[in-house]
Amino acid sequence: MQDSFNRTISYLRLSVTDRCDFRCGYCLPREHRDFATPASWLSPAEIQRLAERFVGLGVRHIRLTGGEPLVRKELLEISQRLSAIDGLEDLSLSSNASRLGLMAADLRAAGVSRLNLSLDSLDAARFRQITGNGDLHQVLAGIDAAREQGFAPIKINMVAMRGINDDEVEAMVAYCRDRGLALRFIETMPIGSGGVAASQHYIPLSEIEQRLRQSYRLSPAALRGSGPARYYQVDDSALVLGFITPQSQHFCDSCNRVRLSVDGQLHLCLGQEHRVDLRALLRAGASDAELEAAIVQGIRNKPERHHFGQADSQIIRPMSALGG
Ligand code: SAM
Ligand code: SF4
């Protein structure tokens, strides 16, 4: 599937819920109330039917995301249905790890192969503050459970925020190096009211990269995945660091993805409002061919790029609606 800027779309990020057990300030502020109603949630069978259309059209990687995907009760059923689709090469999941201690083994058995796990601080009090109510020890136990199940690679995502957690960069490097985890730094994105507020703490990752280069030798590396991170190997260790820079250096030219929200909206760009209502088509009895035509047409209308940082570009929906 190609869009009108000759980009091949092979990656679908699929949000299975817009709810979450955390309230990270940059993503899902406490006052947020505008959640999708259960009647609008795609069922596991509807998700499978749409995913089959995407795979038929050339998608090779699906990432389950949220909100927090582990709070969706049917997550294992959804994972099993997706991992059985012929032609899908990779089923991965993003999570805050709070429930992974309970679910890591079942997720692996259901066909999820790779994990991206969020971890912004190794200090329990600070972690609770950033996440609203998160329990650091439970999250670290969840990460350990994932390691024991042999997910590979496991990537840890840290949203870098000046004055909040930027003093922990070296501690995070040591934590990940000691556990065989990849570490990725992410710049804050001004999406939703929380993202806009968090922009006050924005740090261009070039600053963190320069700081790390004073202590470590970073050489270009590759890591399995479908994303836009720039990766480096640290010294001669197995540790790989990634830098994701949506603000300072956008990577829209090589964008390969589209997003499906829990209520069946196909979003063509994280930073724009272009979308197609696949749920309405599905529930109106559209045939497979009609669904595929709507997807292809939507992808032709995929915008060239986001405009984060420009005054008229404000995206109102929180990041939790689309899963990053
Ligand atoms: N709940 C899961 C988690 O936290 O990994 C999956 C969904 S979460 C929306 C996906 C990713 O988006 C996380 O790594 C999170 O840190 C990141 N994120 C959320 N809001 C963000 C923002 N305003 N700027 C940058 N990254 C953000
Ligand atoms: Fe929940 Fe993930 Fe958003 Fe934090 S970043 S509030 S864990 S969806």
pLDDT band at 4 (very low <50, low <70, confident <90, very high): confident
Q: How far is the CA of 21 from the centre of ligand 2 (A)?
A: 8
The answer as to whether 2 is a domain residue is: no
Average pLDDT, the chain: 93
Helix, coil or strand: residue 142 = helix
Q: What is the pLDDT of residues 20-78, one digit of tens each?
A: 999 999 999 888 889 999 999 999 999 999 999 999 999 999 999 999 999 999 999 99
Strands 265-267 and 275-277: antiparallel
pLDDT band at 129 (very low <50, low <70, confident <90, very high): very high
Q: What's the average model confidence in pLDDT over 251-257?
A: 88
Lowest mean pLDDT segment, chosen from 65-79, 119-133, 248-262: 248-262
Q: How far is the CA of 94 from the centre of ligand 1 (A)?
A: 9
Q: What is the pLDDT of residues 132-178, one digit of tens each?
A: 999 999 999 999 999 999 998 999 999 999 999 999 999 999 999 99
Cα-based torsion angle of the residue sequence 26, 230, 257, 139 in order, rounded to the nearest 10 degrees: -40
Assess whether pLDDT exceeds 80 at residue 290: yes
Q: Between these two residues, 49 and 324, which has the higher pLDDT value?
A: 49
The answer as to whether 128 is a domain residue is: yes
The answer as to whether 152 is a domain residue is: yes
pLDDT band at 201 (very low <50, low <70, confident <90, very high): very high
The answer as to whether 6 is a domain residue is: no
137: Cβ contacts below 8 Å, ≥ 6 apart: 124
Atom of ligand 2 at shortest range from CA of 319:
3
Q: How far is the CA of 205 from the centre of ligand 2 (A)?
A: 21
Cα-based torsion angle of the residue sequence 140, 145, 146, 150 in order, rounded to the nearest 10 degrees: 140
Residue 308: per-residue pLDDT = 67
pLDDT band at 19 (very low <50, low <70, confident <90, very high): very high
Atom of ligand 1 at shortest range from CA of 118:
5
Total domains present in the chain:
1
Quickly list H helices, the chain.
Answer: 44-56, 75-83, 100-109, 124-131, 136-148, 169-179, 192-198, 205-215, 278-283, 288-300
CA atoms within 13 A on the CB side of 252: 17
pLDDT band at 310 (very low <50, low <70, confident <90, very high): low
DSSP 179-190: HT-EEEEE----
The answer as to whether 246 is a domain residue is: yes
Q: How far is the CA of 189 from the centre of ligand 1 (A)?
A: 9
The answer as to whether 61 is a domain residue is: yes
**228: domain range?**
11-321
Q: How far does Cα 299 stand from its chain's mean position? A: 20
Residue 56: per-residue pLDDT = 98
CA atoms within 13 A on the CB side of 26: 21
Bond preceding residue 153 cis, omega within 30 of 0: yes
Assess whether pLDDT exceeds 60 at residue 221: yes
Atom of ligand 1 at shortest range from CA of 320:
9
Q: How far is the CA of 118 from the centre of ligand 2 (A)?
A: 8
What is the pTM (predicted TM-score) of this model?
0.94
Q: Which residues line ligand 1 (CB under 6 A)?
A: 20, 26-27, 65-66, 68, 94-96, 118, 157, 159, 186, 188-189, 191, 195, 198, 319-320, 323-324
pLDDT band at 273 (very low <50, low <70, confident <90, very high): confident
pLDDT band at 272 (very low <50, low <70, confident <90, very high): confident
Which residue among 15, 22, 117, 164 is best mutated to probe the pocket of ligand 2, counting the most ligand atoms within 8 A of its Cβ? 22
The answer as to whether 210 is a domain residue is: yes
Q: What's the average model confidence in pLDDT over 300-318?
A: 72
Cα-based torsion angle of the residue sequence 133, 137, 141, 144 in order, rounded to the nearest 10 degrees: 110
Assess whether pLDDT exceeds 70 at residue 87: yes
Assess whether pLDDT exceeds 70 at residue 244: yes
The answer as to whether 92 is a domain residue is: yes
CATH no. for residue 302? 3.20.20.70
Q: How far is the CA of 157 from the centre of ligand 1 (A)?
A: 8
pLDDT band at 309 (very low <50, low <70, confident <90, very high): low
Assess whether pLDDT exceeds 80 at residue 318: no
Q: Report the Cα–Cα distance between both ends of the chain, in Å, rounded.
A: 22
117 Cβ inside 6 Å of ligand 2: no
